[in-house]
Amino acid sequence: MDGHHLYAWCAADTLVFPAILGRPARIESRCPTTDTVISLIVDPQAGVSDLAPATAVISIPGSHEMDITHVRATTCNPGRFFATAEAAGDWLAQHPDGTVLPVADAYPQLRPINSRLLDDDTP
C-alpha cells in the first residue's frame, strides 16, 4: 500500500483493511494447497480488480466456529485464499459449516464490516 509492505493475519482482513485505511492495496498470498500466488487489487471505491488467478476463492469459517475471545485462532487462521474452489476441498472437509466464495463475491459481503468500523464513534 503506497509502496509499503503491510501484513494481515487472514484473507478477509485484506479485503476489509483498504477501506479502513482509505487506500487501494495490492494483495498477494499463496494458496496453501497448490502454492499458486494469488494477487489482486482492493480499492475502497471500485472493489476487487486484477484478480489472478480469476478462479481464486476465499474461505470463511462457519459462525459456530468463530469465538470472539479467540478471533485469531477461530476466524483468522482458517480464513485463506485458495487458487480454486477445488483446492479448498480439504479445507471444506475440515470446516463443514464454513463457506468458500469467489473473491469478487466476498468483497461486497464483507462491506458491512467496513461500514460498521468506519461509522463507529466508539474509541
- Side chain identity at 39, as an amino acid letter? S
Residue 10 among the catalytic residues: yes
Residue 76 among the catalytic residues: yes
**Catalytic: which of 2, 35, 76, 121?**
76
**Catalytic: which of 13, 50, 90, 119?**
13
**Catalytic: which of 2, 10, 43, 119?**
10
Residue 13 among the catalytic residues: yes
H or E element, residue 104: helix 103-119
- Is residue 53 reached through a cis peptide bond, with omega within 30 degrees of 0 on the bond before it? yes
- Side chain identity at 14, as an amino acid letter? T
DSSP E strands: which ranges in 1-123? 25-30, 37-43, 47-52, 57-60, 81-82, 99-102
Task: Evaluate whether 96 touches 90 at the Cβ level (below 8 Å).
Answer: no
Which residues are identified as catalytic? 10, 13, 76
